[in-house]
Structure 1
Amino acid sequence: MSSDLEKQLIEQQIELYFPGAHPRAIAWRTHLISVCKQFIDSGLADSQFVRELTSSIKQNFWARLSEALIARRLKGLIFNQRTNVGEGPDFLLMHDNRKVWIEAICPEPINVPEKWLSSSAESGVVAFPHREILLRWTGAIQKKAEALMGNGMTKKGYLESGLVGANDAYIIAVNGCQLRSGPFPALFGISQSPFAVEAVFPIGPYEIRLDKISGEVLGGQHQHRPEFPNHNNSPISTTMFTDPKFQYISAIWALDLNGGESIGNAEPTALIHNPLARNPIPLGLLPADEEFVAHKQEDGFELSKTLGKPAPVWL
């Protein structure tokens, strides 16, 4: 059970990040405090959860709060017993006698314009920093891919160390809530698909072809974008899920969670399946508003989406 001191520290920290005397602010804080306490009491939180959640480091707060919010979304699923909670990926589920690991990350808004991050309904038009946000998604996914597979040089991954087995499923859960435009979700990129889709499939913005003389619309399609430049003009790949090298990654679980759903705010989610996964997960295993599945074709992959499984009821 969480101690009285831990509860007090959690309450104080959440009030720092979610201040205000408005009833909505109070309800939001109350919900987040409850989520964190339930996470501790469930036995899913490791021994460093409270210390890092209540530290003065903003990124630690969001990383740990994300774990608690993600655990809430996993309500009702079967968790496997772990001897060393905190060693290896964040969560371990069981499905049809297969281990399903979930590794979570909450990317920081590095190089994302402050005007975007602090915008409000009264701010007017704000430029969409889609490249900067996509860089945060690709960086987060690559970091957790390396956690599984290593970097081929000095860093060993979970596979090589034996923490994750070759027949286990491995899901990267990315909570993009720090990349929001003020209170508004920012899960979707310039292609109108989730940033997670753009990060692992070569899908760019939608292009319309026009007749040069008449201006008549001849058709349109998404741009094929296997890479895009970072801030140093170095190419960043967007083909992870078309590359057999990444077969041990089963899916990306794209999330935009900050607890605001408890007061009626949007918290969209999506699940992107790896068509080349050695250990795929079935549709509907995790709660998501939409699921994206790619099928191999003669000239590449065809991506389709379907409605997903609803999240657990918030209490």
Structure 2
Amino acid sequence: MIPPAVQRKFESACSDAGGLWDIKLRRLIALFEWFTWEGLADPHFVQELAAEDTYRERLSEMLVAYKLMRSGYELKSDSAGPDFWAYKGEQGFWVEVVTPRPTRIDPDYLAQTGATDEGMLEFPADQVLRRWTQAIDKKVAALLGPREGSPDGKRPGYLHKGIVKATQPYVIAVNGRNLRGKAGIGFNGSSGNPCAVEALFAVGPLHIRFDPIGNGFMRPSLGRSQRASIESPNGSPIPLTTFLDETYAQVSAVWALDIDEDEVLLDPAWPNLERNYFASAGVFNPLAVNPLAVGAFPTFEDWTCNISGDSYQLTHHNRIPFRPSR
């Protein structure tokens, strides 16, 4: 039985679904019933799902669980610790879900539905990247405890408490739906790659490089710069090198997403793949003590990194046949 307050939230979310309104609503209700029946909801889940300021955060947990279930994972959850333990047989990993709010992001960008008369579409890339980075950092802190010098002090993380064992993989699932403008951009950053890749591997904006080819001529080429940190609103640096730092080797991967209620209307177009392919990427930690393989969870693209001495190389893995590599 679905609580009336939750049903009203779902009805409101389905109001723009047109002729699919009834299907979308019934599937959301069925998802809620499955999620709670499986014991994946904590004691505050229903209350926070019905609340305006926490609705999308708790919805994200249901949708991530839904994606994992469709990919053949079994799930279990405790009231303390990460959101889920996802497993197939003896293989599994912890999943911690976070849905950053659009704090300090230009409201004009969030409200913009399309290009201006001049053909321009504003994208505050650094503002969006900060929110991705801060969301990841928050869930890293949940595992390891806050970074040194953090105002959160020395609060113990899941590892210190023994909730997550040192031998268990830990995945941070970030749903960037709140950071997407109405025009549909916000998942990829100024480099053209997912914001999660920029936040973890110091990938900077696209730039044009001019290489000499003789006789005073130069050949232009388009490439990506490197950026080790980004400024916070108060001017302090926010590191963009988490997956290049052995301090964070207990984090196995970041699963970047952009999902909302429409997820329940989509069916996989290919086995183990997702149809909304511009909105899911697995970013794997090359220094992970508990590494996960490409394809460990349902995405349309994955990113790995090879570190050699003082240099590193990122590799983009397509998981559908018709998308070009980057």
Query: Shorter-chain TM-score category?
Result: 0.7 to 0.9
- Return the letter of the residue paired with 1:90: D
Counterpart of 1:89? 82
Structure 1, gaps ≥5 residues long: 311-315
Query: Cα distance, 1:169 vs. partner?
Result: 0.2
- Return the letter of the residue paired with 1:12: R
SS of the residue 2:189 aligns to: coil
116-125 vs 139-148, which moves further: 116-125
- Return the letter of the residue paired with 2:279: P
Counterpart of 1:197? 197
Contact 1:185 1:268 in 2 (8 A): no
Counterpart of 1:313? none
Counterpart of 1:51? 47
Query: Cα distance, 1:39 vs. partner?
Result: 1.6
RMSD: 2.6
When normalised by structure 2's length, the TM-score is: 0.84
Contact 1:98 1:169 in 2 (8 A): no
Matched, 1:142 2:129: no
Counterpart of 1:9? 5
Query: Cα distance, 1:20 vs. partner?
Result: 4.6
CA distance in 2, matches of 1:80, 1:73: 11
Identity %: 32
1:115-139 C-alpha deviation (Å, 9 max, x unpaired): 2212224765331111010010000
- Note the 1:126-165 alignment, pairs <5 A: 126-151=121-146, 153-165=153-165
Counterpart of 1:242? 244
- Return the letter of the residue paired with 2:157: G
Matched, 1:114 2:127: no
Query: Cα distance, 1:283 vs. partner?
Result: 1.6
Q: How many residues align?
A: 302
Matched, 1:66 2:70: no
Contact 2:17 2:24 in 1 (8 A): no
CA distance in 1, matches of 2:201, 2:122: 24
Contact 1:288 1:309 in 2 (8 A): no
Q: Relative to structure 1, is the Cα distance of residues 96 and 36 closer, same or farther in structure 2, using a 3 angstrom cutoff?
A: closer
Matched, 1:34 2:30: yes
SS of the residue 1:74 aligns to: helix
Contact 2:130 2:230 in 1 (8 A): no
1:274-297 C-alpha deviation (Å, 9 max, x unpaired): 000000111211000100000112
Q: Relative to structure 1, is the Cα distance of residues 174 and 192 closer, same or farther in structure 2, using a 3 angstrom cutoff?
A: same
- Return the letter of the residue paired with 2:56: W
Query: Cα distance, 1:140 vs. partner?
Result: 0.2
Structure 2, gaps ≥5 residues long: 267-274, 322-326
Q: Relative to structure 1, is the Cα distance of residues 274 and 19 closer, same or farther in structure 2, using a 3 angstrom cutoff?
A: same
Contact 1:206 1:221 in 2 (8 A): yes
CA distance in 1, matches of 2:88, 2:168: 10
Counterpart of 1:166? 166
Contact 1:115 1:126 in 2 (8 A): no
- Return the letter of the residue paired with 2:298: P
Contact 2:98 2:173 in 1 (8 A): yes
For 1:278, which of 277, 284, 289 is the aligned residue? Answer: 289
Q: Relative to structure 1, is the Cα distance of residues 192 and 97 closer, same or farther in structure 2, using a 3 angstrom cutoff?
A: same
Counterpart of 1:105? 98
- Return the letter of the residue paired with 1:246: Y
Contact 2:38 2:76 in 1 (8 A): no
Contact 1:287 1:309 in 2 (8 A): no
- Return the letter of the residue paired with 1:240: T
113-122 vs 103-112, which moves further: 113-122
Q: Relative to structure 1, is the Cα distance of residues 206 and 93 closer, same or farther in structure 2, using a 3 angstrom cutoff?
A: same
CA distance in 1, matches of 2:12, 2:173: 26
301-310 vs 283-292, which moves further: 301-310
SS of the residue 2:141 aligns to: helix
Query: Cα distance, 1:105 vs. partner?
Result: 0.3
Query: Cα distance, 1:239 vs. partner?
Result: 0.4
When normalised by structure 1's length, the TM-score is: 0.87
Query: Cα distance, 1:98 vs. partner?
Result: 4.5
Q: Relative to structure 1, is the Cα distance of residues 73 and 113 closer, same or farther in structure 2, using a 3 angstrom cutoff?
A: same
Q: Relative to structure 1, is the Cα distance of residues 18 and 168 closer, same or farther in structure 2, using a 3 angstrom cutoff?
A: same
1:54-108 C-alpha deviation (Å, 9 max, x unpaired): 12x42x10110000110110014343655xx221000102356354100000000
- Return the letter of the residue paired with 2:47: R
CA distance in 1, matches of 2:103, 2:64: 23
SS of the residue 1:283 aligns to: coil
- Return the letter of the residue paired with 1:271: G
CA distance in 1, matches of 2:261, 2:295: 22
1:28-61 C-alpha deviation (Å, 9 max, x unpaired): 4444333223222232222321111012x42x10
